Amino acid sequence: MKRRKVLLGGLGFASLLTTVACGGGQSANNQGADSKTLTMLTSPDYPPYGFYETSGGGRKIVGFDIDIANYIAKELGYQLRVQESDFNGLIPALQANRADFVMAGMTPTDERKKNVDFSNIYFQAQNTIVALKGSNLVKAENLAGKRVGVQLGSIQEGDLKKIAEKVQGIQVKTLNRVPEIIQEIKAKRIDAAIIEDTVVRGFTQANPDLEYNVIPSEGPSGSAIAFPKGSQRVAQFNQVLDKMKASGELDRLAKQWFSASVPASPAASPSPTK
């Protein structure tokens, strides 16, 4: 099987922290801009859904989400433009109509549904506790007294806060990007993190000093495409998603990305200072 080599490190990552879109623009208000282009916003810190591929000298956002988006855009007769934001900024950006849709392994929650609309779910995931090998953190109760990382604005942040109401002494540490969280564990600045299995698998393959254990979800799970409230594209996108499910295209992409993608160690990333 062909292995994809992916670097989430170095300069590329540093400049990510300043975050404005690729493609040079101030973020696009699409209305009336280019009617043949759909603008997708993502948080490319989430391999294999969306991340920077820097092998081969380029620097390009790739992944499962990007392939699905490209497929849908093509089916609907559009070009796709991909722009980026921190995860926490994705929903506000949709609310401000700065993109046509968001794909970022995002889970449709009731809270988010107050502000955006979602497609049907296109992929499932479960929460895990990830920690240094030998930590043996297999269930929520084991997090008592531990420093635990989660991504800012993610459902994992909410889930961890719920766990912390039941389990004593958890110190919640929110970080902006998933590779930073991995880095914090490796540097022993946190004891564990809650990250989805679909993403943590690649990170633990690339970092054999880490282990993970699946835990029950505290709420909804899985990924869906988000749109500005009232967007007429929801139905169109669902139609193409249905077609991709029926034809096996979605399975093919899932196989391609979730069994073959191994992110390299994020050790080259700058250490977060938070």
* Positions 151 through 210 that interact with ligand ARG (CB under 6 A): 151, 154-155, 178, 196
3-state DSSP of 205-231 = HHCCCEEEEECCCCCCCCEEEEEECCC
Strands (E), 12-78: 37-42, 45-46, 50-53, 60-62
Minimum CB–partner distance for residue 128 and ligand ARG (Å): 12
Q: Site for ligand ARG (CB under 6 A): which residue of 106, 116, 143, 200?
A: 106
Tokens representing residue 20 in the block:
């404005």
Minimum CB–partner distance for residue 115 and ligand ARG (Å): 13
270 touches 14 (CB < 8 A): yes
Is 102 strand, coil or helix? strand
Q: Site for ligand ARG (CB under 6 A): which residue of 47, 89, 105, 263?
A: 105
* End-to-end CA gap in the chain: 39
The pattern of x and - marking residues 10 through 49 that bind ligand ARG according to CB under 6 A reads: ---------------------------------x-xx---
Residue 29 vs 126, nearer CB to ligand ARG = 126
* Positions 137 through 156 that interact with ligand ARG (CB under 6 A): 151, 154-155
- Determine the Cα–Cα distance for residues 152 and 175; give it in Å rounded to an integer: 5
Instruction: Tell me the β-bridge partners of 211.
Output: 131
41 touches 48 (CB < 8 A): no
The pattern of x and - marking residues 42 through 81 that bind ligand ARG according to CB under 6 A reads: -x-xx-----------------------------------
* Positions 207 through 246 that interact with ligand ARG (CB under 6 A): none
List contacts with ligand ARG (CB under 6 A).
43, 45-46, 87, 104-107, 151, 154-155, 178, 196
